[in-house]
Structure 1
Amino acid sequence: MMQTSAPTNMSENEPDLPVRGLGLMMMRDISGGLRMSRYAAKLAWTDIRLRYKGSFLGPLWLTLSFAVMVVAMGIVYARLFQIDLVGYLPYTAISFAIWFSWFSPVVMESCGCFTAARAQIFAAKLPLTVQILRTLMRNSLALAHVIPVPIAVFIWFGIALKPMALWSLAGMAVWAVDGFAVCMVFGSICARYRDIPQIIGAVMQIAFYVTPIIWQPEQLGEDSRWLRLNPLFSLLTIVRAPLLGAMPRAENYIVAILFSLVLIGLALIVFRAARSKIPYWI
């Protein structure tokens, strides 16, 4: 049987390059991928179209299924927690939109951002980071399809956004950078070790329950101080709180930024070491 060789566009990246050379090739890959962001957006839109090809409602299924989940779980958990639905449903709608339509899918799909694009990597001379942008943009499009649900909830309860809601844009920028870094880390590691996605999936399930998504921090009382040890809480807060009319605490920004810096540093180290080997692994 004929063995498939690594793509010709990656032949320049020999595994035994010096560290300085690996770092230079990594920076060229990142800058090249960013310059091809429009192409990555086209790939992401094609992925969305193919995902719902042949369906009657197309991507509208995302909106409808998300609306049903928010309303059903919002009402049930508001009754269980004895919380006023007017305050709880907007909180739930935003939390679910962030977690289920962007954060969790990005983390899980980051594991296959390179392996799933094996054909494109072998066929075209493209920076590997194009596939990272493709993953992020694909999930951003999915998020855009569910945004009308929180908007409808706010309108239904007569809740108006305050000027501080603009601060959520800063939080979203942090999330975009973190998502890029996550894809660099997990995409590289999972290209080599194919059983890692199952471990990450189990960790994500645990993270969902220990992070204030279906429950509110105030419900923990004095024990809510332990949430500062969970960086996902701070990352959620810097996006969610401004939309709900409250400014995040300074410590939320500090934790989120420090976590992001550590994640970016780890991503650069992992991607620099793995980039030249990824075509051989996939």
Structure 2
Amino acid sequence: MISSPSEEAPSSRSTTFGAAFGDLVRGARQHELWLQLGWQDIKQRYRRSTLGPLWITIATGVMALALGLLYSMLFQLPLRDFLPHVTVGLIIWGFLSGCIKEGAEVFIENEGLIKQLPSALSVHVYRLVWRQALFLAHNLVIWIALVLIFRINLGFNVLWAIPGMLLLIVNGVWVSMLFGIVATRFRDVAPLLESLVQLLFYITPIVWTTHTLKQQGGEVAERARIAEINPLYHYLEIVRAPMIGQPVAAYHWGIVAIVTVVGLLLAALAMRQWRFRVSYWV
């Protein structure tokens, strides 16, 4: 029998951190559900398409090639070095921006399931992050092609990308949960976040590099330091640098760790206070 929001167990309406953590655990245990739903999302999106999910890779590859060629000429940078920088940056950015923008509407879009399916609220978040991870995996084909074409010397340094991606996934969960709850209550948050993400794209070193700006010296070099304030820059670096054969400065990991802890605490606080209200807000 399917329960309605008013028939939920009292524990699901508990405003404690234990109850919030319990929701995350119950959602993780229902992995068969969100794994299947996430895969179905991709199949539905590319239904009746000949190439199917390959369109994800093609679109990302074409954009990376176009931006790489254009900005390498503008900045007079070797394409061999700049194209991998842009390409991997776009791949990681796709995951980050997807979790932020789609995370803001994750509960609104799943209104029917939330009201009819007696599952943990975190199931819908895991489903979204899983879907974005599949998109990311598709796009990694482009990176493999670049490594082979330009013969990038990766070495064992590339292994640092693994914990970096795991941190991205963890952050994708808290970002989607936090923004999802807030945007469900305040519907103006979703379009605001979409505009903010578009702005962040231009101030994040994706189609430009901090190294190039610092080389110019003077005020330009000082302005390059503004990128350090942007936390998304550090998330990019812990994954992108190992994937293009460059070392990662330790402070990038430190900043990502601090932001991750703060974000998890904020998401836990939001879940504790408003988790059980989401079914009434959607």
Same fold (TM over 0.5): yes
Give the secondary structure class of the aligned counterpart of 1:153. Answer: helix
Superposition pairs of residues 216-255 of structure 1, within 5 angstroms: 216-221=209-214, 222-223=221-222, 224-255=224-255
Distance (whole Å) between structure 2 residues aligned to residue 254 and residue 146 of structure 1: 27
Whether the aligned pair in 1 keeps the contact of 2:152 and 2:245 (CA below 8 Å) is no
Question: Normalization by structure 1: what TM-score?
Answer: 0.92
Q: Structure 1 pair 9/104, CA: closer, same or farther in 2 (3 Å)? A: farther
Per-residue deviation at 1:9?
5.5
Structure 2 residue aligned with 1:81, among 75, 78, 94?
75
Distance (whole Å) between structure 1 residues aligned to residue 253 and residue 107 of structure 2: 31
Superposition pairs of residues 178-257 of structure 1, within 5 angstroms: 178-221=171-214, 222-223=221-222, 224-257=224-257
Superposition pairs of residues 118-197 of structure 1, within 5 angstroms: 118-197=111-190
Which structure 1 segments of 5+ residues have no match?
none
- The aligned amino acid for 1:259 is V
Distance (whole Å) between structure 2 residues aligned to residue 116 and residue 124 of structure 1: 14
Distance (whole Å) between structure 2 residues aligned to residue 105 and residue 195 of structure 1: 18
Whether the aligned pair in 1 keeps the contact of 2:4 and 2:116 (CA below 8 Å) is no
CA shift digits 1:209-263 (9 cap, x unpaired): 1110110111221423343222111111111111122221111111111111111
CA shift digits 1:85-113 (9 cap, x unpaired): 0000111110011102x111111010111
Q: Structure 1 pair 77/124, CA: closer, same or farther in 2 (3 Å)? A: same
2:8: which partner in 1? 10
Whether the aligned pair in 2 keeps the contact of 1:162 and 1:245 (CA below 8 Å) is yes
Give the secondary structure class of the aligned counterpart of 1:236. Answer: helix
* Identical residues among aligned pairs (%): 32
1:109: which partner in 2? 102
Structure 2 residue aligned with 1:32, among 2, 9, 26?
26
Distance (whole Å) between structure 2 residues aligned to residue 114 and residue 255 of structure 1: 29
Q: Structure 1 pair 120/9, CA: closer, same or farther in 2 (3 Å)? A: farther
Per-residue deviation at 1:160?
3.4
Give the secondary structure class of the aligned counterpart of 2:192. Answer: helix
Whether the aligned pair in 1 keeps the contact of 2:88 and 2:143 (CA below 8 Å) is yes
Distance (whole Å) between structure 1 residues aligned to residue 174 and residue 281 of structure 2: 20
- The question of 1:55 aligning with 2:53 is answered no
Give the secondary structure class of the aligned counterpart of 2:276. Answer: coil
Per-residue deviation at 1:201?
1.0
Distance (whole Å) between structure 2 residues aligned to residue 279 and residue 183 of structure 1: 16
Give the secondary structure class of the aligned counterpart of 1:58. Answer: coil
The runs of at least 4 consecutive aligned structure 1 residues that moved more than 4 Å come to none
Give the secondary structure class of the aligned counterpart of 1:212. Answer: coil
2:91: which partner in 1? 97
Corresponding residue pairs, total: 273
- The question of 1:261 aligning with 2:254 is answered no
Distance (whole Å) between structure 2 residues aligned to residue 61 and residue 118 of structure 1: 28
Distance (whole Å) between structure 2 residues aligned to residue 246 and residue 160 of structure 1: 9
Which structure 2 segments of 5+ residues have no match?
215-220
